[in-house]
Homo-oligomer: A and B are copies of this chain.
Amino acid sequence: MTATAAALSATAPVALHAFDDAIALQASGENRFLGRTTPAYWNMIGPFGGITAATLLQAALLHPQRLGDPIALSVNFAGPIAEGPFEIEALPVRTNRSTQHWNLTLRQGDAVATTATAVFAVRRETWACGEAVMPEVPAADTLPAMGGFAPVRWLKSYDMRPVRGAKPTAEAGTEHPDSLTQFWLRDAPARTPDFAAVASWADSFYPRIFLKRAGFVPAGTVSMTTYFHADAPTLAALGDSHVLASAQAQVFQQGYFDQRAQLWSPAGQLLASSHQIVYYKE
Contact = CB atoms under 8 A, between A and B. Distances in A.
A114 to B, nearest CB: 9
B103 A79 contact: no
Interface in A123-153: 123-132
A87 B93 CA distance: 16
A266 to B, nearest CB: 16
A73 to B, nearest CB: 9
Contact of A131 (B71, B101, B248): B248
Contact of A280 (B126, B222, B275): B126
A194 interface: no
A109 interface: no
Contacts of A196: none
A206 interface: no
Interface residues of A, number: 62
A186 interface: no
Secondary structure at the A interface, as helix, strand, loop or mixed, is: strand
Contact of A277 (B72, B112, B124, B213): B72
Contact of A256 (B105, B175, B229): B229
A277 B227 contact: yes
A251 B117 contact: no
A250 interface: yes
A43 interface: no
A253 B96 contact: no
Interface string A63-89: 000000001101010110000000000
A29 interface: no
A72 B230 CA distance: 26
A71 B112 CA distance: 19
Contacts of A223: 71-72, 74, 117, 119, 225, 227
A244 B125 CA distance: 35
B71 A74 contact: no
B258 A229 contact: yes
Contacts of A38: none
Contact of A253 (B213, B229, B277): B229
6 contacts: A119-B277, A124-B255, A128-B252, A131-B179, A131-B212, A250-B273
Given A78-B93, A121-B279, A128-B254, 10 more contacts: A79-B94, A99-B222, A99-B279, A115-B117, A126-B254, A126-B280, A126-B282, A227-B275, A227-B277, A251-B270
